[in-house]
Amino acid sequence: MIEKNGNRSRDEAIEKIEYYIIENKLAPHSKIPSERDLCDMWNFNRSTLRSAIQRLVVEGKLYQKKGSGTYVAKPKLIRNLQELRSLSREVMDNGQSIESKVLSAEIIESNKQTTKKLHLPLGHSVYALTRIRYIDDDPVTIESSFIDGERFKELKIHDFSKESLYAVLEEQYNIEIMKGEERVGIAYATEYEAELLNIEPGQAVFYLTGVVYEEDGSPIEYFKSIVRSDKIRFSSILTKREDG
């Protein structure tokens, strides 16, 4: 019974905070009152209100700055798992800006993982590209791409902090990406990843892996991504299957 009442109190606090944001027309990055002030306003105990705020942070509706306070977050970018669209296109269609910073771009030898995913022999040349992607100046994802380095030899001369990887594949190599497979899981940011993404170490993040294919079914890219869960959420449309 105590746990139930606590949960209900937290839910009430969440509703109060969300209504406060709407009623006062607080724009993204607006600071909300302190925990103490909100407790005084609504007569909640401190632990209940703190729990409500943390829940809204996890949901991406609020964010916190250490030593500064709690702020209204921008709405999350929604990515449909059933659509094969580049992050650049998704972001621009959402009216936001996207930038990239190249962390590394090099030719490596294919290991067991890239051999399996790209159908290449061990030791084959692989172009490995790792970038941070920024949405409206916020670091949102660390993306690593692995592509056949012998088939696509000219990739190494491109600057993918300014160019789209998929656009280069399509325009220079006449590659039409037709389908892909993707897995989404939960991981926890390492200190290195947290520093790059400007989040706390150990914060929950999405971990994506997958392969995209051209029209004849040949794998083109094997990718891995670490994605901030407070900036992007994933959705999927379910349809009823007729049996029999």
With a cut of 60, say whether residue 8 has pLDDT above it: no
Neighbours of 120 (CB within 10 A): 22
Tell me the C-alpha to C-alpha distance, in Å, between residue 17 and each of 20, 27, 35, 99, 165: 5, 14, 11, 33, 42
- Domains plus CATH for the chain? 2-72 (1.10.10.10), 77-235 (3.40.1410.10)
Average model confidence (pLDDT) across the chain: 85
Q: Which pLDDT score is estimated for 90?
A: 66
Using only the alpha carbons of the chain, give its radius of gyration.
Answer: 22
For residue 69, the surrounding DSSP H or E stretch is strand 69-72
Q: Which pLDDT score is estimated for 95?
A: 66
Q: Report the DSSP pairing between strands 204-214 and 219-228.
A: antiparallel
What is the pTM for the complete model shown?
0.70
Collect all residues with Cβ–Cβ distance below 8 Å to 200 and sequence separation of at least 6. Answer: 189, 194
Quote the CA–CA distance of 239 and 237 in Å, as a whole number: 7
- Per-residue pLDDT, averaged over 147-174, amounts to 93
pLDDT-based confidence at residue 244 (cuts at 50, 70, 90): very low
With a cut of 90, say whether residue 230 has pLDDT above it: no
Lowest mean pLDDT among 5-14, 182-191, 225-234: 5-14
Quote the CA–CA distance of 226 and 152 in Å, as a whole number: 25
With a cut of 80, say whether residue 51 has pLDDT above it: yes
Q: Using an 8 Å Cβ cutoff, are 188 and 205 in contact?
A: yes
Q: Which pLDDT score is estimated for 98?
A: 78
DSSP bridge partners of 33: none
Q: Report the DSSP pairing between strands 232-235 and 77-80.
A: parallel
pLDDT-based confidence at residue 77 (cuts at 50, 70, 90): low
**pLDDT tens for residues 96-117?**
677 899 999 999 999 999 999 9
Greater model confidence, 135 or 209: 209
